[in-house]
Structure 1
Amino acid sequence: MNGALPLVPPLRMQQDGPTLAEQMTALPVATLVIRPDNSIAEANVRAETLLNMARSAIVGSDVARTIRIAEAGARFDIWHSQKPIAAYDIKVHAGRTAEMEVDLMIAPIVDHDGWRVVSLHAQSQARKIGHRGTSGGARSAMGAAAILAHEIKNPLSGIRGAAQLLEGGQGGRDAALTQLICNEVDRIAALIDRMQDFTTDRTLECHPGNIYPLIDRAADIAAAGFARHVRIIKRYDPSLPFANINDDALVQVMINLLKNAAEALEHVAKPRIRVETAFRHGVSVMVGGGKGSAVLPIEIVVVDNGPGVPEHILDHLFNPFITGKRDGQGLGLALVDKLVRDMNGFVQYARDAEAGESTFRILLPMGMG
């Protein structure tokens, strides 16, 4: 196949339906088709608008010159890779526009070596994706957690000790009240412990491991407790290789996601949660900081048929203390994001309004050795 050949064969999906070229023109996302020599073969209307260039100027130009990675020190060789690549929240100079943040997807065209489709999402998906770095808000939360741990946890231990002494010399109602004090102190201490998870950047010890016993353990905990009213469906890929994981971290991540899904289904008539796994061949994710792309082929998704995340918190979904629940603490998803990042993975949220489903997707590296 060479650059002189037409972009799309003049086929129709049905006799009176639109051609594939017409369908591309109607796509609501800026889309380019790239030849093996990296020249742009086709661009839709959205691409013209995003790049601020006429189609006649786009077609034939070198894609590496038309879409330039703006991050200093970047070593992204995205235009010579034959693998699918997803780059979220990267800064680029696109066409005649000023520097912007985009989500960039590259997908090879099956059976046509070297040909690729590139889509550019100008509106950042930061609201759907756990940030790869620590934002200013997260740093503030880490500082607040450290202060609270120091200023509150030590006095709590004294209160609990005093309550236990009182309980030993009391009976009946007074003993019940002192036990209540102990229980509440334990609850607050547990909350502080959870907040302390954000105060450390220590590296998790990861190893190649089977994710299924860990997912099953989390699902069993959910089914016996907070999700006992929900139907949990498991759809596993039996051929999935080991992932590079920390066992405790993955169990905690799954418990938090299942709990989040179960709470979202509180007022749903037929609540259900699906836990699915898959191997995504060649999927790479840009990690920023000039580090290039990470191959994250192990996919775990948690899908629920609840109403989805409220619109007003989407931009800060994975930040600490952000929640749409009246009694929520806003720590569950923030901890999920941190633990997945500590395992060198990636987490994102998506809503399928047509299917009425919300999906949290985890991508993890494959275990080696």
Structure 2
Amino acid sequence: MSAPSFEAIWGAVPYPALVLGADDAICAANPAAESFGAVSARHMEGRPLGRFLGEDSAVLDVVRQARRSGVSVAQYDILVGWGDQAALSHNIHAAPLNENDGAVLLLIHPLGMADKMDRSLGHRSAARSVTGMAAMLAHEIRNPLAGISGAAQLLEMGLGDADRELTSLIQTEAARIGKLVDRVEQFGDLRPAQRRPLNIHDVLDRARRAARAGFAAHARFSEDYDPSLPPTAGDPDQLLQVFQNLLKNAAEAVPKVGGSITISTAYAPGVKMQRPGGGSESLPLLVTITDNGPGVPEGLVRDIFDPFVSSKVNGTGLGLSLVSKLIADHGGVVECDSRPGRTRFRVRLPVWRGAAPDEKERAGSGVVVSEAEA
């Protein structure tokens, strides 16, 4: 067997790879880089890297450090945004090609689904910790809360108008605490999902209709569905709750005038979850909910699914944590990427394969073992 040509090796590199000149202009780009930037190599070549990444990009610092030191330099988990794409975490490797001409090979490694799955499983564990607290809250808080509210009502009957304002405040705050306990108590439902084959579009349509009739009446909806999607394995009521929560989150984020929410579905094979009992399960069904709100603060994006983490002034931080728990219970994963003017939640779910996997096996699911996209 003859040695493969440079072109074959260059084309087979699975990560975006760029050759940069001494002036940081792009000299060559492999096919993965073209796909990554949605720009042809011909359009990139001869243009400075900063034009695509921004002149203040940390990637340029890595490239220049490699050129100055003459050795390979790596920097992990830094934000990279190409053009108008959202900035996402990547690992960067830069290595000088020649000592004299200043050429540098740049490799961009997107943090793949394995990292996202690890975080999703971590969110699931955190949600289970809230589960143990939920039962205690329901028992230890509801009874005295009812007593406080009842006592305030009795006091109100014998007070003047000025003092009734205070008892009304007590009742209002007691009701608010009661609603918070109701939301936390949802984590205490340990019943396994009653999975059966279902059309994900039926669930999305129910969630959309409910949203348009209520909390999202001010938003403009658009749908981009793939009608050929096979059925997924799921509990329709739990998945309805998931998508209602995501739509409510989007509706609260978009502006009252000009707010838009897009729901799309696609078949995206390549992401698989390994199970300890052997074998793996593919997550090819992709549901994306996009809004044109101001975006999630950069410091919260990675932790947005953790319990009690919220970007809202009066948010409890439980809605998205419940979403993560329910999707993990279905063997799927949910992720978020956000920038000002566009926030996108992606939900990946398995296809119905007949008998549902054993729940105990599901609870110990591992990380992604193969992926076709970052």
TM bucket by the smaller chain?
A: 0.5 to 0.7
Asked whether the 8 Å contact 2:127–2:322 carries over to 1, the reply is no
Asked whether the 8 Å contact 1:128–1:317 carries over to 2, the reply is no
Cα displacement (A) at 1:323: 0.5
Q: Which residue number in structure 1 is paired with residue 178 of structure 2? A: 189
Asked whether the 8 Å contact 1:130–1:318 carries over to 2, the reply is no
Out of 294, 298, 303, the residue aligned to residue 281 of structure 2 is 294
Q: Which residue number in structure 1 is paired with residue 54 of structure 2? A: none
Structure 1 distance, partners of 2:280, 2:232, is 17
What value does the CA root-mean-square deviation take over the aligned residues?
Answer: 4.5
Relative to structure 1, the CA distance from residue 208 to residue 320 in structure 2 (aligned partners, 3 Å threshold; closer, same or farther) is: same
Structure 1 distance, partners of 2:203, 2:126, is 31
Cα displacement (A) at 1:278: 1.1
Q: Which residue number in structure 2 is paired with residue 239 of structure 1? A: 228
State whether structure 2 residue 272 is matched by structure 1 residue 317. no
Relative to structure 1, the CA distance from residue 209 to residue 167 in structure 2 (aligned partners, 3 Å threshold; closer, same or farther) is: farther
Q: SS of the counterpart of 2:120?
A: coil
Relative to structure 1, the CA distance from residue 346 to residue 307 in structure 2 (aligned partners, 3 Å threshold; closer, same or farther) is: same
Structure 1 distance, partners of 2:245, 2:326, is 11
**Superposition pairs of residues 120-131 of structure 1, within 5 angstroms:** 120-121=109-110, 131=120
State whether structure 2 residue 300 is matched by structure 1 residue 326. no
- Paired amino acid for 2:5: P
Out of 213, 216, 227, the residue aligned to residue 205 of structure 2 is 216
1:167-203 Cα shifts (integer Å, max 9, x gaps): 9999x99999999977765553332122122235432
Asked whether the 8 Å contact 2:123–2:306 carries over to 1, the reply is no
- Paired amino acid for 2:235: N
Asked whether the 8 Å contact 2:301–2:337 carries over to 1, the reply is no
State whether structure 2 residue 7 is matched by structure 1 residue 8. yes
Relative to structure 1, the CA distance from residue 226 to residue 200 in structure 2 (aligned partners, 3 Å threshold; closer, same or farther) is: closer
Q: Which residue number in structure 2 is paired with residue 357 of structure 1? A: 342
1:249-273 Cα shifts (integer Å, max 9, x gaps): 1111111111111111136x52110
Asked whether the 8 Å contact 1:129–1:348 carries over to 2, the reply is no
Structure 2 distance, partners of 1:310, 1:132, is 22
Q: SS of the counterpart of 1:366?
A: coil
Q: Which residue number in structure 2 is paired with residue 271 of structure 1? A: 259
Q: SS of the counterpart of 2:314?
A: coil
Gaps of 5+ in 2: 12-25, 38-61, 73-88, 92-106, 355-374
Relative to structure 1, the CA distance from residue 179 to residue 24 in structure 2 (aligned partners, 3 Å threshold; closer, same or farther) is: closer
Q: Which residue number in structure 2 is paired with residue 368 of structure 1? A: 353
- Paired amino acid for 1:367: W
Cα displacement (A) at 1:142: 3.4
Cα displacement (A) at 1:357: 1.9
**Superposition pairs of residues 149-168 of structure 1, within 5 angstroms:** 149-158=138-147
Cα displacement (A) at 1:158: 4.6
Q: Return the structure number with greater helix share.
A: 2
Gaps of 5+ in 1: 12-16, 29-44, 56-88, 90-100, 103-117
- The count of aligned residue pairs is 277
TM-score normalised according to structure 2 size: 0.60
Structure 1 distance, partners of 2:181, 2:3, is 65
Structure 1 distance, partners of 2:220, 2:166, is 38
